[in-house]
Structure 1
Amino acid sequence: MSKNIFQRFQSDISGISLPEKFTFPFYYEPHQLSIIAATALQEYLETQTNFDHNFGLRENQEGLVIGKMFGVLVCKNSKGELGYLWAFSGKLANGNHHDYFVPTIFDMLQKDGFYKIEEETVNVINREIERLEQSKNYLKVMENVNQTNLQAASEIQLQKERIKSEKINRDEKRIIAEQTLDFESYKSVQKELSEASKQESILLKQMTKYWNFQKENAKNELDKLIAEITALKELRKQKSSALQQRLFDAYSFLNQSGERKSIGEIFNNNPPAGAGECTAPKLLHYAFENHLKPIAMAEFWWGKAPNSEIRKHKHFYPACKSKCEPILMTHMLQGLDMEANPFEENPAEGKEIIIVYEDDVLLVINKPAEFLSVPGKKIQDSVYQRIKDMYPNATGPLIVHRLDMSTSGLLLIAKDEETYVKLQSQFIKRTIKKRYVALLDGILKEKEGFIDLPLRVDLDDRPRQLVCYDHGKQAQTKWEVIEVKNNQTRVYFYPISGRTHQLRVHASHELGLKTPIVGDDLYGSKSNRLHLHAEQLIFTHPVTKEIVTIQEVAPF
C-alpha cells in the first residue's frame, strides 16, 4: 500500500469522538473528521502542481472545463491508527492515477491491459470498415448502381411516353384512312398500324428486361462489397460484446468480508455509463483491499458546475443513486454497522396537519415541512392518507395539487370528484394564484424578475432536477424581494407552472437567482428545515363562484 494514499491526520484530533456508525452515503451530515479530511484535500487542490486540470476556477485556463466530485474516507489501519483516503470521480487530468488518490478499481487506460489490447483490435476493424466504405472502388460501384437505376428508369419512361405518342399518331392515321381509303387499302393500313403497336410493346419488354439485367449486375457487384463490410461489422459486434462482457467480469468490487461482486452481476450486465467510477466505490474498494476499517465518508464538488446541474463549489453532496446505490447497498456496504436509512423513516411522525378552511366540498390545510403530500414507495403516511382517514366518505382523488415533502404551506383538497375536476381545471388554466415565501442564502442584486428555465428529472440521481432545453418541460417563476437581513434575502415566488422542485432549482441555478433557499439539502446546504412555504392561495370557489383568498404566514 503506497504511503502517499493512506494519510494520517496532521492536526490534533484526540478530542473528537468517532462516529458510532458508518455514514449512510445517500443522506448525511459530514462528520467532523470527514470535514477535516475534506479540508486537507481542498487545500491540496488549491496549491498542487502535480497535474493540470481545468476546473473552471481560473480565468483563461486552457482545456475543457470539467468540475469534479471528490470524496474522503476516514478509516483505521490494522495498527488502530486513524487516517483518511482521497478519491476523485471518473478521470482527473485525463488519467486514473495520481499521487495521494486511491486508484481506479479497473484501469481501462493501462496500455498493456486486456482492455486496451482488445480495444485496439476493435479499432483496427473500425479502420478497415472505414477504409472500405470510403474506397474509390466502393464509391464507384455505388455510383454505378445509382446511375444504372436512374438511366433504366429514364429510358423506360421515355419508351412509355413514345408508345403513348405513337398511339395518338396511329389513331389519327386510322381515322384518316377510314375516311379516305377504300376497304382493302384501309385493311392494309390497319394491319400496318397494329404491327407497329405490337413492335413498340415488344421493344418496351426488351428494354425492361435489358435494364433489369443491368441493374441486377450492378447490384450484385455492390452486394459483394457490402457483404465484406457487413462481415467486418458482425465481427466488430462480436469482439465488442466479448470485450464488454470481459470488462463487466473484471470490474469487481470488494466488501469488508473480502467477497467480490462484478459490475455485470450487480447490474445484470447492463450497468449505466460510469458505474463504479464514482468516489464512494473507489474509496471503499481500496479500504477493503488494504484491510482498512471505514469510519466515515463524505463527498464534495470542486469547480464549476455543468450548465444543466446545480453543483456548488466545495459543497458536500450524497452519493448518486442510479450508479452507486446498487453497488453500495447490495454489496459493498453489506456487514457494515451503518446509520439508518432516513428514506425509510416516516418524516411525518408526530406531526399534525392543520385545517385552515373547510366547507361542504373542499378544505385547505397547512402542511408541515417534511411531510409527504401523497404516499411514497415505502411510506404511506401522507396528507392523502390522513385526509382519507379523516373523511372516509369523501370521493375522488382528494389531493388537487402537491407540495414537495420539504415545503410547508397551503394545500387544496376536494371532498368529491366533481369539486376535484373543477379545481383541477383552474390549475390547468392557471387561474389559481399561488404565492410562496422563501428565505435565500445570500443577497440578490435585483429587486424582482422572471425566471424561465425548463426542467426534467436527473435520471442518474432522482429526485434531483436538471435544467434541460432539449427535453425539459417549461418552468416559469416570477419573484420579488421582500426583505434583506443578516446576509439573507426573503422573497416572494409566484410560480406560473408547477414542476417538481421548480422554485428550489430556479433559486439555486446559475441561470436563475444563483442563491439557494436556506436549508435546501439538494441544491444548497442543509439547515433545520427548507425555508420555503406556500403562503397564499387565491381561487374561485367551485360552487359559490366567489373568489376565496387563504393566507398562512410562514413559520420562519
Structure 2
Amino acid sequence: MKVLQVFVLINGLTTMNAFQSVFRSSGRPAAAIAFEKSHQLLIRNLSYPNTNRLNCGNLIGTSSSHHFTRLYSSSASSETDVDEGDKPLDYTTTRYIAKRDEEEFFSDAEKDEDRILYPKGKPEGFYVIKQYNVPDEGFGDLAASNEAITEQEVERLGINGKNVTLPIALMILDKEAYPSFSRARKSCRKGYIMIHRGPLAVSEETGLESFDSEICIRGRVPDRVFPGDVIGYQVRLHGGFYPGFQTTKPPFDLPVVYEDDHFAIVNKPAGVVCYSQRKQSHGMMTVRAALPFVLKPPKRGTLAIIRRPVSVHRLDKPTSGLLLTAKTKPAMVELTRQFVDRRIRKSYTAIVNGIPSEPVETSISTEQALQLGVDVNADENVSWQHIDYTLDEKSAETVWRPLRYVKSLKANDNTVTLVELKPKTGRYHQLRRHMAWVRECPLVGDKAYDGGGAAMSLRGRGLFLCSNKVSLEHPYYNTEVGRKKWENLPEEEKYQNGMLRLSEDGEVVEVHASIDLPEKFESFLKNEESRFERLAAGDDLEAEDNLGAEDDLGEDDIGAEKLIE
C-alpha cells in the first residue's frame, strides 16, 4: 500500500517509468524492496482475466491515458509471476487467456517469415495471403447464396450474379470471414482487398501465380466484381520481423548482437533515444519504434510473449552500445530483477579530456575488483582505480583504468586518454560525473560536464562513451524447463559463437556479449595524434587551429552529428 501511495505522486508516467523513478530516488536496500514489490503489483494486475491492456493511470491513481505494453497470453491466475524470496520463475504452471490473440500472433509471424511464397500486393510491402476466384458462370441467385443478402438489397444495389459489389462478393466467397456487410466493408476501407481483373499470370521468376500490378486495383466498397476476376486479401509483412505494425522502419540502423526467443541484445547508435519522452517528442527516432523491425518474433510454443519487444533499461541519447530487450513477460521480470540485484555487469569505454590521476590510495588489484562484483578478467594481473563518490546522496562506485594516451593540441595536458569504465552502481550520469568531478577529466564531447571553454573545441564528434561489454545470467535457460531445452540444443545454437557459456561451477548459463568500438573512436584518436605530430615537425597548422567542429568530421560523422544535435 505504501508503494501505491508513492505512485500517486508520479503523474503521467508509465508504470515501468514510475517503478524506475521510485528505485532511483530511494536508498538501497529499500529501493530494491520497493522495486520488487512494485513488479509484483504490476504482474498481479496483469494476471487478472481479460487484462490484455493495463491502464497505468488507474493503477497509480492518476488520470494518465498511457498504457503499459500490451501483453499476449496474460496469466489467468491471481498468483504473481514474481515469486517471493529466491524462488525461480516458473514457465510451466502459468495459465493463459487470450488464446485467440496468441494464435493470431504466431500465425501472422509465420506468414511473415514465409512471405516469399505469397504474391506481392499493392503498394510495396503488402502480400496476398488469401485469394478467391470469382466463378466464370457468376454467382447465380445472390439471395440464395447468403442469407444475409436480401432481395431488397439486390434490387437496391442493382446487382446480379455476374455484376456484384465487392462486399457482396466477399460475403458469398467467405461466409466465415465476412458474415455481415459491415465486416466486408471494413476490410475494403482498410485497404486489405485487391481485385485482379481476369485470371492470374504465372511469374517467370518464382513459377507462382502473381497479381499483375498493371491490371489490379485496391478494392473499394462500391467497386464491382465480374466473372473470372480474382479477389485477394493482403496484409503488410515486414520481412520476418514482428507482425501487426503498420508503421515504417525508423531511418537508422539497430544491429542485433544476440537474439533468442526470450530476449535480445541490440547495439544502440549514438543520437537515438530509447523511448520518446513526455516533454520531448522524438517521433519514430526511438529504439522502441525500431525493435519490431529488427527482432524476430518468438517461435510458436514460447510462453507469455510480449506483443512488442521492450528494453529493460536505458542508455542516454548520446551514448552508444549494448541494450537488453525482453520478448517475454518472465524474461522482462527476471532481467529487471538482475539489474536490481546488480548481477548484470557492464563495461564502458570512453575518451576523456586530459590525463586522469591514479592515486595509490585508490588503486586496487584485479582480485579486489572481482570482489567488488565488476566484470574484469581474472587472468589479467593489472592495476585498477576505484572511485567511491556519493552522487545525489546515494552511494556510487566506479572501477576504471587507462588503456591508451594520445597527444592532442586541444586537450588538457595536451593529451586525451582512452579509458575502460566498469560501474558497480548505476546512478544518473555516474560515469560522466565521476570522471569530471572526481578525476577532473570530463569525457570528450560531454556538453553537460566538460565545463565549456576550451573543451568546446572537442565537442564536434559527440560524446565518446560506449557500452561495449555486458555479462548476465540467461533469463530462461536457468529455469528448470529452460535448462533442459538448452542442453538439447544443437552445439552451434547452444553456445551462440561463444556468447553463451556455463559459469565456472557449471551451474549457470551465462551470456557474454561485446562489440567493437564505433569507428569514430579510432578516427578521432588518429586525427588528434596526427595533428600533434605535424606541429612537432614544424608544419604550419594555423589553418587547422581555426577549424570548426565539422572539419573534424568524416562524411558519415557529419550525418551522425546532425542526429545527435
Query: Structure 2 length as normaliser, TM-score?
Result: 0.32
Q: Which has the larger radius of gyration?
A: 1
| Structure with greater proportional helix content | 1
**TM-score, length basis structure 1:** 0.33
